[in-house]
Amino acid sequence: MADRPSLEVVTEALSKAGERKFSETVELSVNLKDLDLTVPKNRIEDEIALPNGRGRSVKVAVFGSPELCQKIKSVADVVVATNELDEFAKDKKSAKKAVNQIDFFLAEAPLMPTIGKRLGVVLGPRGKMPRPVAPGSDPTNLVNALKRSIRIRSKGNRTFHAAVGTRGMKPEQIAQNIDAVLTRIVGKLERGRTNIESVYVKTTMGPAVRLW
């Protein structure tokens, strides 16, 4: 099947989706082929900054020293200082609820072993282990980049999904996001484009439209 322009496919997917009382997510469905997904290096796991953002609020939390938390509190959505980490981790039920509401986590590098020990069982299965940042650094730019990013994880599955926007965005913006995501995915695969069997675009509750 010949490729179609991303904008053409996005426009069709949006036109075929019925009106909803909420802002639907627009997502890619990517189907891989000719890969042994039991081998970790063949799995896709990445964070991708979208050119036009997610179309919705993205929350970022930071674990760090009181000094770092003071520096970043106006940019990050949640800050957890070193002296607050034990309290945060103590109640696993509350910690799970908080983690589910946060999209990305950062942590000063020296805290990573402690976070792994205290919160690894909560963060790990959700693919939300923090990205380490250097002690004393200013991660403002990184936080801002994450606020327009998505995380993709194929794990051991041949098919995986990636959110590329919402119906409230312009079709051109969604199409640009799609092209950026696919370029990144192709670059991660052993044989590039030939490891992708098909790609579809759809809204949360709408029909899928084939792109590749």
pLDDT digits (tens, 9 = 90+) for 50-93: 999 999 999 999 999 999 999 899 999 999 999 888 888 888 88
Same domain, 86 and 130: yes
Q: What is the pLDDT of residue 1?
A: 47
CATH code: domain of residue 86? 3.40.50.790
Do 65 and 49 belong together in one domain?
A: no
What's the domain count of the chain?
2
How far apart are alpha carbons 84 and 209 in whole angstroms?
47
Low-confidence residues in the chain, pLDDT < 70: 1-2
The CATH number given to whatever domain includes residue 43 is: 3.30.190.20
**Domain range for 195:** 6-55+150-210
| Residue finishing a domain among 113, 146, 179 | 146
Judge if 92 and 20 occupy the same domain: no
Q: Is residue 47 domain-shared with residue 65, that is, in the same domain?
A: no
- Structural domain includes residue 1: no
